[in-house]
Structure 1
Amino acid sequence: MSTQISASPLPPPKERRRLRQSRSLTQAQLAAQLGVARATVRAWESGRRAPTGAEGRAYAEFLAAFTPSAAPDDPSEEAGPGTMGPGKPEPLTPAQAFDALYAFCAPALVRQTYLLCGRRELAREAVERAFQLAWQRWPEVARDRDPAGWVRAVAYDCALSPWHRFRPCYRHPEPPPADPADRDLLGALLKLPPSYRRTLVLYDGVGLDLPETAAETEASTPAAANRLTHARAAMAAWVPELADTALLHRRLTELSSRERLRASRPPTVRTLGERRNVFWTRAAIAFTVTIIGATALTLRTAPTHYEPPIAPAQAVEGVPRAVPMGPLSRDELALRAKLRGEASSGGERIEPTPR
């Protein structure tokens, strides 16, 4: 009996991982769908094992559903100019491609973001904000090798922003989960530093490998491994049963799945993103016009020549102190009388003498 899965070869291991992540599925979730262990999916994506048997055929069908179809080999199957061939799918418009990415990624991404921040409304807001930025930069995001990873990184940054603490609606904690075990798990998660929490969620929650986790957290692989080790140790110290990494992964998945978190519809997110873009564009134009007007007014009213400022008054030193007037002496009285007499009779007239 042949063990060949299909006539067409499977994508490379890295492409298999990218296709799974583009559907916002973890390795554990895909393994549950295929009926295999998580280690089997990880071995398929790393290239250590080849998919075989019924599970391999199911895995190949999963990959083929999200792999772009190749062009037909028979030229007779191709249609004429301006038409689509019978076996060639019609290309999606940017809005349709964005809506497809949002429909596949947003529900799971909201639940994952909830594990980071512990707030339902903030998780939904962060994911919608990330998709709004993705729509504004859609040409860049559409060409990215992992659009889901691009959106996930932005959503995590928005959810972990320290500026949320200054918002009045986020000064009080939200109601915790109803299950006591879930409350303990979420409380332990929120005690971790943001970088440790993000590394733990990406590796044990989403199912990324260590190099991908390091790249998404903008850290080196040894640094990511160190954060993961310390985060697991702290979780085990607070909740001893979570020392088992398989149980930790299952509990994280269950916690995010129990919360009823819903994101808005794709057209609503696109519309809000376009409105936000228009608002900031108009604000930038208004600010530029204000700067130009203020500059013109300054040039109009500014003086055309330099006027030195008046120096402030300063005390003059070295002047003798004024002495109060007293009685005149006998010589001073005689001098005064003499001067008064000469002033009344006038001085002697000087006349020129002939030569």
Structure 2
Amino acid sequence: MTAIVVTETPIAAHPPSFDEIYSAHFADLAVQLYAYFGDRQEAQDVAQEAFCRALARWGTVARYDDPVAWIRRIAWNLAISRWRRARTALNFLRRQPPGEPRVAGPTPERVALVAALGTLPAAQRRAIVLRYLADMTVGEIAERERVAEGTVRSWLHRGRTALAERLGTGDAR
């Protein structure tokens, strides 16, 4: 007579929790990515992003035969995408012109003129700027400011006189 031996087999081992997978595999994945990137922070960021994506789908991912392999694949895909974006940005920057041309700073005379203009009353300052920097005629300035042309001429005369005194030129034409 032979005896029948009955062994119990577990119906299904409980799938690992996210916390178990994270604590067991995060450091290993970060080290692998560090070897790829050469940048520890970048590697940790990518590993963290992969685990965040796994957590968002953990109900599905936990039932995979190897959830860690899925997380690793996501991490490597993210790493490759970041590398490609960085390469594209670098190639773009290399094709750019070498930068803005250097412009000399303001001369001492210009600094003194701007400071002197700042001391004039607003109407005189506007008249001087519009006449000599914007090349507007007295008539155009009068129309813009809604005043008589004689008023604009008066502002210009007073402004030039004040500027000549402040700048020490003595010429108020």
- TM-score class, shorter: 0.3 to 0.5
| TM-score, with structure 2 as normaliser | 0.41
Over alpha carbons, which structure has the higher Rg? 1
Answer 1 or 2: which has greater helix percent. 2
